[in-house]
Amino acid sequence: MKSRKHNRLRRWLALVAAAAALCACVFGSVASGARAGSKDDDRGTKDDERVSKSRDKISPDLRALMRTRPDARVSVVVQQSAAPGVGLNLDALLGLVGGRVTRRFARLGALTVNLPSKGAEALAARPDVFYVSPDRSVGVSGHIETTTGTDQIRTQTLVSLLGITMTTTLDGGGVGIAVVDSGVDPAHESFRDGLGLSRIAYSRDFTGEGRTDDPYGHGTHVASLAAGAGQPSGGAYTGVAPRAKLVNLRVLDSQGRGTTSTLLAALDWVLQNHALYNVRVVNLSLGTSALDDYAEDPACNAVRRLVDAGVVVVAAAGNCGKDSLGNKIYGQIHSPGDEPSAITVGAANTFGTNARDDDTITTYSSRGPTRGSSIDMQSGRYYDNLIKPDLVAPGNRVVGAAAASNQILLSHPELNVDASKPASRRMMYLSGTSMATPIVSGAAALILQANPSLTPNLVKMILMYTSQPLAGYSTFEQGAGELNVEGAVRLAKMVRTDLSSLTPLGSPLLTGAPPAPQTSIAGQSSVWSQGIVLNHTCATGSELMTLYQRVYGEGATLGDGVVESGGVQSLDTSEMTGQVVLEDSLLTSDGSTLASGVPLLDANELINGTLLDGIMVGDGVLVGDGVMVGDGVMVGDTTLQAQSAMFGGDGTACMR
Ligand SMILES: [Ca+2]
């Protein structure tokens, strides 16, 4: 009883100290004199014996950072003045400066805190803080978090009407992601929460093998990129949404193979049960050659049903961007990545650097257009020719969780990141659009956590509109550009939450002034694409972001905003507002917006359906035919494959 009272008193004193420090922080120079006085008064107390009068409690390198980049988030080590075991409660203070405790080392009397660098002043002002220095050994976040801009939006600061600052963490908490793949290893620490409990909310086998773990090793890696916690790697390889709930639907067997029917069974399960586990995102890092026109392909139709039901479906583009001789080819988007309502993802190569000016599209990432086809009795074969992928994300030599004794790692031990680690913490490299896809799925989970009211089409618009086009690559290679989580979350937070199918075309889409369409990642600023990819063209213009377009509603697809008639495409003004611009040509980007670059192909060429083999696009490469086998051979289930056949990836520096 006595000690509890004592604790309460101490907590109260800590709060007073925190409040004093906060006043100093919030009111700046006016309060600084008062703070100095209180500091003097505190000196001489037992807790403060370690602090000499003249000593700066902030390390010189942190001081330099506070001067040059006061708003930059930094991970710092805070050592406490009191003896280890006493504990340090910084919650109230951190709430006000936009910081959070990331780790506690109780026996060392220290903890790590992530905060804007300028917030360190308030920390150091506390008598119970001994010293504040950068966490030099472990970075703020891993490469994927940094290079996608995810680390910048992790901590969200809100100021209430009463002026109280609160922080929340965007980590996918509460959002369910269904990973339809080769299973997930439940013993891997990537899938535990902070209390050590599993974040796999549900598992089910559709392969008939009677197991839901991951003997092949693909699904575990994929799941960790979307939603892996950083514990096994000290934070270096944290997934994009590390607190999301996982739903593990196993459709690929121990050899990484499945059938259309197992995929349909899993998607059917999601349609029936998505509300139960709040599944807002389905990840499909798998596919098969797109033979059928998307409108006839059963997997595409199942995807459409899910999107119409409010579930975001993210699908891999495929790994067929080059032929067996290494030549670049077009027209190899896989099914169901060829479904217009899916968010289809190609693979970028980050070269392991956070800065994005060296990023490229991988050689193997499948390029559009889609080449599913149907036969017309009069005019012959008709190709759907949709522009895909919709965007790209890091996918080359990406580090993720390694399932215990998995087939991929057994066959390719060179992919092991650290063989000395126990199986439950082992990580490995994989490459492919399979890896890029869950990074976008994780981003979609963050967007939906930030604004749960968004429809799948709004999520897709936001992801594309905020992407960064990479210079030198065409729309067929990168869609709108490379994923930008910072921009996407910033825009998503501003979208009105009261939109419905009754909202009139052209109503305001945002709750305030439009955000500046640019993002700075790793010290480099880049403009957003400010456009979206539609079926056979691209649309640009700020009204896409500022005004409600009917194509954003459930049951529509973005391509519904275009009328295709008489060999030309025009805006459907009953679906989209008049200042939205349809692009005449597909471009090879100059690295700025979606509307700037060198023409590659007249967009209207895509709508006549007869863009056959032999038609060259602007860079002199033929558009290939998606049909890989003779007509009529594929009678039964099509074979599905996990799409990370790219064991080596593009031969560049490893992602560290
Ligand atoms: Ca890079």
pLDDT, tens only, 18-29: 333 322 222 222
Torsion, CA 408, CA 411, CA 414, CA 419, rounded to 10: 80
341 is catalytic: no
Phi and psi for 6 in degrees, rounded to 5? -60, -45
Is the CB of residue 545 less than 8 Å from the CB of residue 510?
yes
Output the six-digit token pair for 514.
């439009």
The confidence score (pLDDT) of residue 605 equals 87
Give the position of tokens 């979350």.
489
Q: Cα of 656 to ligand 1 centre, how many Å?
A: 11
Output the six-digit token pair for 130.
């001994």
Task: Give one DSSP letter per residue of 607-636, joined into a string.
Answer: GGS---TT-B-TTSPBBPPS--S-TT---S
Q: Cα of 222 to ligand 1 centre, how many Å?
A: 21
434 is catalytic: yes
Domains and CATH numbers, the chain: 2-140 (3.30.70.80)
pLDDT category of residue 164 using cuts at 50, 70 and 90: confident
Q: Cα of 357 to ligand 1 centre, how many Å?
A: 6
Q: Cα of 144 to ligand 1 centre, how many Å?
A: 10
pLDDT, tens only, 503-555: 999 999 999 999 999 999 988 999 999 999 999 999 999 999 999 999 999 99
Task: Give one DSSP letter per residue of 315-349, joined into a string.
Answer: EE--S-SB-TTS-B-B--PEETTT-TTSEEEEEEE
What are the counts of helices (DSSP H) followed by strands (DSSP E) for the chain?
16, 31
The string over 105-141, giving b where at least 16 C-beta atoms fall within 10 Å of a residue's C-beta and e elsewhere, is eeeebbbbbbbbbbbbbbbbbbbbbbbbbbbeebbbb
369 upstream amide cis, omega within 30 of 0: yes
Is the CB of residue 144 less than 8 Å from the CB of residue 439?
yes
Output the six-digit token pair for 651.
């031969």
pTM: 0.76
CA atoms of 492 and 459, how far apart (whole Å): 8
Give the chain's mean pLDDT. Answer: 82
181 is catalytic: yes
Residues measured by CB to lie within 5 Å of ligand 1, the ion: 350-351, 353, 358-359
Give the position of tokens 């809100």.
158
Choose, from 128, 135, 181, 213, the residue flagged as catalytic. 181
pLDDT, tens only, 601-652: 889 988 877 665 545 555 555 554 433 322 222 222 334 555 444 555 675 5
pLDDT, tens only, 565-599: 988 999 999 999 999 999 999 999 999 999 999 99
pLDDT category of residue 487 using cuts at 50, 70 and 90: very high
Output the six-digit token pair for 4.
């509890």
Q: With pLDDT > 90 as the criterion, what percentage of the chain qualifies? A: 52
Choose, from 218, 221, 274, 536, the residue flagged as catalytic. 218
Radius of gyration for the chain, computed over Cα atoms and rounded to the nearest angstrom: 26
Burial grade of 614 (CB within 10 A; 0-12, 13-18, 19 or more): exposed
CA dist 306 to 262, 368, 457, 500, 649, Å?
A: 16, 23, 12, 18, 32
β-bridge partners, 423: none
Q: Cα of 378 to ligand 1 centre, how many Å?
A: 50
Distance of CA 213 to the CA centre of its chain: 24
The confidence score (pLDDT) of residue 374 equals 79
The confidence score (pLDDT) of residue 450 equals 96
Output the six-digit token pair for 232.
């096994």
Is the CB of residue 294 less than 8 Å from the CB of residue 339?
yes
Does the structure show a pLDDT above 80 at 388? yes
pLDDT, tens only, 121-148: 999 999 889 888 776 533 235 788 888 9
Q: Cα of 236 to ligand 1 centre, how many Å?
A: 16
β-bridge partners, 249: 180, 204
